[in-house]
């Protein structure tokens, strides 16, 4: 299919008709039928990658004067790409280990390599919202490393703040018991923020302050007993 929009809908149709036929825990198409959850993961991520490429290609179709219209069309169709990640998150056989070692690295590779600010903004936000909190905690370092590789037009501050809010909200719901001792979440966030401030020298003061405020709020909610983190935020 040469036309990216047509290809996008064909890919979405393929995902739709295959959704109840993908091998998963307890399904009739699981190991006894010659398939397993790895096959489902491979299929969904391959479809996600191709769908995203088609979505990005839409940006370069037509004359320059229609750029705004194409951007609006792409925003309207973004759910066709995100649906693949939603379906992946619904597979019962995808546990934290499989997500960390196989699924997320391939997703983040596609996000970083597409070099498209609209796609990167949407997909990073989609990852935050469709996968569970314990998955995010186990892969926080990899996710934040990708944040530092995004296009300059991407609102990275918004992405970081959204992830901090997600984990902070989970902490509130679990009476503050959320961050395992072996996951240094604050340090990981702080290193990412520091790297962004050093590399993105064009950030205005308002964005810098909002980023530092988000980090401070994260420290207060997730580490209320650790005033060292609070002092570190205030000293920057």
The region of weakest confidence among 74-88, 152-166, 171-185, 220-234 is 171-185
pLDDT of residue 55: 96
User: Residue 234: is its pLDDT beyond 90?
Assistant: no
Q: What is the mean pLDDT of residues 44-60?
A: 94
pLDDT of residue 31: 61
Considering only residues 139 and 30, tell me which one the structure prediction assigns the higher pLDDT. 139
Residue 222 near residue 186 (C-beta atoms within 8 A) = yes
Helices 185-199 + 140-147 axis angle, to 10: 10
Which of 40-49, 53-62, 160-169 tops mean pLDDT?
Answer: 40-49
pLDDT of residue 1: 56
Q: What are the respective helix, strand and coil percentages of the chain, to the nearest 5?
A: 75, 0, 25
Give residue-wise pLDDT tens across range 65-123. 788 888 999 999 999 999 999 999 999 999 999 999 999 999 999 999 999 999 999 99
Q: Which residue, among 76, 81, 75, 74, has the nearest Cα to 59 in the 3D structure?
A: 74
Q: Write out the two tokens for 107.
A: 């997703």
How distant, in Å, are the alpha carbons of 126, 170, 174, 221, 222 from that of 225? 32, 17, 16, 9, 9
Q: What is the mean pLDDT of residues 140-164?
A: 96
Q: Which residue, among 111, 113, 120, has the nearest Cα to 154 in the 3D structure?
A: 120
Name the pLDDT band for 175 (thresholds 50, 70, 90). Answer: low
Considering only residues 54 and 223, tell me which one the structure prediction assigns the higher pLDDT. 54
pLDDT of residue 19: 87
pLDDT of residue 102: 97
Q: What is the mean pLDDT of residues 36-62?
A: 93
**Which residues does 176 contact at the CB level (< 8 Å), separation at least 6?**
221, 222, 224
- Burial of residue 64, with CB atoms counted within 10 A of its CB: 0-12 exposed, 13-18 middle, 19 or more buried: exposed
Average pLDDT, the chain: 90
């Amino acid at each position: 299919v040469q036309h990216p929009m047509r290809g996008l809908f064909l890919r979405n149709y393929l995902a739709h008709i295959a959704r109840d036929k993908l091998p998963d825990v307890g399904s009739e198409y699981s190991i006894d039928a010659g398939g397993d959850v790895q096959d489902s993961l491979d299929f969904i991520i391959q479809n996600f990658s191709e769908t995203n490429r088609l979505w990005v290609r839409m940006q370069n179709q037509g004359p320059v004067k229609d750029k705004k219209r194409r951007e609006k069309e792409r925003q309207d169709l973004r759910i066709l790409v995100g649906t693949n990640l939603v379906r992946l998150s619904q597979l019962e056989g995808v546990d934290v280990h499989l997500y960390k070692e196989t699924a997320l690295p391939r997703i983040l590779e596609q996000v970083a390599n597409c070099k498209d600010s609209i796609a990167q903004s949407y997909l990073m936000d989609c990852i935050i919202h469709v996968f569970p909190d314990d998955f995010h905690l186990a892969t926080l370092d990899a996710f934040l490393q990708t944040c530092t590789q995004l296009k300059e037009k991407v609102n990275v501050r918004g992405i970081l703040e959204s992830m901090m809010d997600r984990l902070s909200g989970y902490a509130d719901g679990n009476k503050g018991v959320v961050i395992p001792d072996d996951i240094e979440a604050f340090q990981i966030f702080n290193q990412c923020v520091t790297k962004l401030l050093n590399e993105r020298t064009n950030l205005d003061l308002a964005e810098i302050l909002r980023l530092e405020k988000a980090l401070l709020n994260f420290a207060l909610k997730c580490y209320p007993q650790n005033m060292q983190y609070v002092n570190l935020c205030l000293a920057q």
